[in-house]
Structure 1
Amino acid sequence: MSTSDSPRLARAERREQILATATPIFARAGLAGTSLDDIAAAAGVSRMILYRHFESKDDLYRAALQRAAAHLAEAVGDELTEGSVQEMARWAAADPGAFRLLFHQAAREPRFRSEIDELRAGMAEEVRRNLAEVVNDPLWATWAAQLCLTVTVEAIMTWLDLGAPDPVGAAARIDRAAKAVLSSATE
């Protein structure tokens, strides 16, 4: 489809379409490896249309990160609980580009690293608060929360890299790995 054949969409719909198109491209190639021309061509729009919605490539990247973080929050809920690991795995299976962008690619981008570090710190803090009831030592609760998040994210990433085999069984296995970390903190 040429850019002139692209259907007219409402502003919010076009913005969402561009973000949905840009997310897996950024996740695959990174910020430096992606051009606005790549995104415009994939979205079937002109660069001018991109600039109507985003001031710069950095602005588009930041919006893609914010969208991915919002979708993650919708998937796992406001509070990280026992079921959150499985919900995170399901979300990653449904939107692997967004998961990779948040937890792999953005961490490599110096201009956006602090935003991802803040997201991960908030998630780890939520887990730590939940662990405070079962882990008496605050340092071990912090250790377990950070390690649990790292194990979960890396297990999901590796699973995606392997082609996301057996989605139902994978979520249960990833959940067991996270619970093993938590169990080690309560001993």
Structure 2
Amino acid sequence: MSPSARMPREQRRTQLLETAIPMFTQNGFHATSMDDIATAAGVTKPVLYQHFASKEDLYDEVVKVTGQRLIEGIAELADFEGTTLERVRAGLGGFYQLVTEQSALRLFTGHEQVSEQISARVSGVLDEMAVSLATVLLAARSMTDEQARVIGRAMISLTQSTAAMLDGAAEPDRGQILDTVTVLAVHGLTGFEPRPDASVAGTVSPAADASHPGTGR
């Protein structure tokens, strides 16, 4: 069946969405027109508008669909067999892999400002991701629901920043970035040895056992 052939409504909507996702995520909202999407999908612009009232409406759906895929990826961390350090490292790397495979880095790392509605959608997706991560945390650690949500949101913010760093780094440096952020996420600053000549006021806490992301619980 050619792209322009008649399709059931839901199938056509899915096809239009899947066409729009890489165009929006690679080129951005402002540089992508509805004409571009319609042409790529092999339909007329009126057909596109039958399914999405505006470009912003279509972009909103792209964020929603892509975000759901990321949320599902986070939920899968509960099935990861390994230490906490290994699980966190896999989660950081997995998020980066997901957003780059979907070309979604622009959507979820603040690269593009579209409107208050879209910002609210992105924030909502990030909150859902935090809740999904909190569920994983609660399955492994004794903490309150509120603590899990706070830590989940903080971890998602850290994950966003890590994905942006990985995107701008040379391939040989990515492993070091993942290792460093993993130790920070799991052990905090005590994941790094104190300096014997520390020149800060107060006491510098001793280091936790965090010599390598493949060790520890």
TM-score (norm 2): 0.62
Comparing both structures, which one devotes a greater share of its residues to helix? 1
RMSD over aligned CA atoms reads: 3.7
Which string of whole-angstrom CA distances, capped at 9 and with x for unpartnered residues, describes residues 28-49 of structure 1?
4443443211221232321022
Q: Looking at CA atoms only, which structure, 1 or 2, has the larger radius of gyration?
A: 2
- Is 2:111 the counterpart of 1:133? no
Tell me if the contact between 2:133 and 2:152 (Cα under 8 Å) persists in the aligned partners: yes
Matches within 5 A, 1:32-181: 32-77=30-75, 82=87, 83-96=90-103, 98-105=104-111, 108-127=114-133, 130=137, 133=141, 142=150, 145-162=152-169, 165=171, 170=174, 173-174=177-178, 176-181=180-185
Residue 18, structure 1, aligned to residue 16, structure 2: yes
- 5+ residue gaps in structure 2? 81-86, 191-207, 209-217
Question: What is the alpha-carbon distance in structure 2 between the residues aligned to residue 16 and residue 89 of structure 1?
Answer: 25
Unaligned runs of 5+ in 1: none
Q: Which amino acid aligns with 2:126?
A: R
Measured in 2, the distance between the counterparts of 1:18 and 1:105 equals 23
Q: Deviation of residue 173 (structure 1)?
A: 4.5
Question: Is the 8 Å Cα contact of residues 38 and 48 (structure 2) preserved in structure 1?
Answer: yes
Residues 103, 153 of structure 1: 8 Å contact kept: yes
Residue 71 of structure 1 deviates from its aligned partner by: 1.6
Q: Any idea what SS the aligned residue of 1:104 has?
A: coil
Kindly, what percent of the aligned residue pairs are identical? 23
Residue 158 of structure 1: how far off its partner (Å) = 3.3
Q: Deviations over 1:56-93 (max 9, x none)?
A: 22221111111101221233326678343333233223
Task: Report how many aligned residue pairs link the two structures.
Answer: 177
Q: Report the Cα distance in structure 1 between the residues aligned to 2:185 and 2:25, rounded to whole angstroms.
A: 28
